[in-house]
């Protein structure tokens, strides 16, 4: 089954960049009478499988929304558990990332992370920085409004220092100051767990992305689910404001 789905994918029309809102860990745990953090722990396998599947296909960038700015408002116990899980997972997976030639990067307000998490993350980023097969981007303490506001601040400073003239500001000038500077915009955005919202994720970068929603809860998300999402994406006509006739 898995192979037949995979074999239907047109490797010449792959998205360069896939972004995923990994949602539903808490509900997954609750369904089996366990505490929410059990769901987070069981979401790690889905991260591993999805990363591997993307690398095998030849996807260049995979961005995973792991922790939002708003998630700081969760109970302290859960926030601490998530931070610990991050350190543990990053530490355990760095070897595999290197073996698979995958580079790790992170976007978000990384300064707000606890010291141990920040250091572990930075180490993994440095240790994998020369890998070339795929870039795995973790969105951590990330929110898009924060990111855009920050970019505006930096642009304003550049104007103040006369490094740029306000009339010369383009979309590209702002993009240079986003956390995703230098990355292509995601063509495909997947959200699991049946929620149909964007939750402050990549508002600028997803301007023309195709959205794919699945009822599957994140810990159940497998390579096969990823193949289904990519096939769905490949069956769409991306018009970018033009007419269907102009595209053909």
Positions annotated as catalytic residues are: 23, 71
Q: Which of ligand IPE, Mg ion, none lies near 25, with the C-beta cut-off 5 to 8 A by kind? A: ligand IPE
- Binding ligand IPE (rule: CB under 6 A), the pick from 38, 65, 212, 233 is 65
* Residue among 89 and 155 whose Cβ is closer to ligand IPE: 89
Shortest Å, Cβ 53 to ligand IPE: 19
| Angle of CA points 106, 123, 90, to nearest 5° | 65
- Do 136 and 106 form a contact (C-beta atoms < 8 A)? no
Question: b/e for 20-57, b at 16 or more Cβ within 10 A?
Answer: bbbbbbbebbeeeeeebbbbbbbbbebbebbbbbbbeb
- Do 179 and 201 form a contact (C-beta atoms < 8 A)? no
What character string, x for contact with ligand IPE (CB under 6 A) and - otherwise, covers 80-109? --x---------------------------
Question: b/e for 66-76, b at 16 or more Cβ within 10 A?
Answer: bbbbebeebee
Shortest Å, Cβ 23 to Mg ion: 4
β-bridge mates for residue 213, sequence order: 191
The rounded distance, in Å, linking the Cα atoms of 51 and 22 is: 13
Residues sharing a CB contact under 8 Å with residue 92, sequence separation 6 or more, in sequence order: none
Per CB under 5 A, residues contacting Mg ion are 23
What character string, x for contact with ligand IPE (CB under 6 A) and - otherwise, covers 169-198? ------------------------x-x-x-
Shortest Å, Cβ 5 to ligand IPE: 25
- Binding ligand IPE (rule: CB under 6 A), the pick from 14, 18, 19, 23 is 23
DSSP letters along 130-193, please?
A: T--SEEEEEEEEE-HHHHHHHHHHHHHHHHHTTSS-GGG--HHHHHTTSTTTTSPPPSEEEE-T
Q: Is 147 in the site for ligand IPE (CB under 6 A)?
A: no
Shortest Å, Cβ 10 to ligand IPE: 29
* Binding region for ligand IPE (CB under 6 A) out of 4-12, 65-73, 171-179, 230-238: 65-73
Q: Is 21 in the site for ligand IPE (CB under 6 A)?
A: yes
Q: Which of ligand IPE, Mg ion, none lies near 22, with the C-beta cut-off 5 to 8 A by kind? A: ligand IPE
């Amino acid at each position: 089954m898995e192979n037949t789905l995979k074999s239907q994918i047109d490797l010449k029309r792959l998205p360069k960049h896939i972004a995923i809102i990994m949602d539903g860990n808490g509900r997954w745990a609750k369904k089996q009478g366990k505490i929410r953090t059990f769901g987070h722990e069981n979401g790690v396998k889905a991260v591993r499988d999805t990363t591997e599947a993307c690398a095998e296909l030849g996807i260049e960038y995979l961005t995973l929304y792991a922790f939002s700015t708003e998630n700081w408002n969760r109970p302290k116990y859960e926030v601490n558990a998530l931070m610990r899980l991050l350190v543990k997972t990053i530490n355990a997976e760095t070897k595999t990332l290197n073996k698979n030639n995958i580079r790790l990067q992170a976007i978000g307000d990384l300064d707000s992370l606890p010291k141990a998490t920040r250091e572990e993350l930075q180490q993994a980023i440095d240790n994998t920085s020369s890998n070339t097969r795929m870039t795995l981007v973790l969105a951590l303490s990330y929110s898009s409004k924060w990111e855009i506001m920050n970019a505006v601040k930096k642009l304003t400073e550049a104007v103040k220092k006369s490094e740029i003239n306000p009339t010369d500001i383009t979309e590209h000038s702002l993009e240079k100051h986003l956390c995703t500077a230098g990355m292509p915009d995601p063509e495909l955005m997947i959200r699991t767990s049946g929620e149909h919202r964007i939750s402050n994720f990549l508002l600028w970068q997803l301007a023309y992305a195709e959205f794919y929603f699945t009822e599957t809860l994140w810990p159940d998300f497998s390579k096969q689910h990823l193949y289904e999402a990519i096939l769905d994406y490949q069956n769409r006509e991306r018009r970018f404001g033009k007419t269907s006739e102009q595209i053909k």
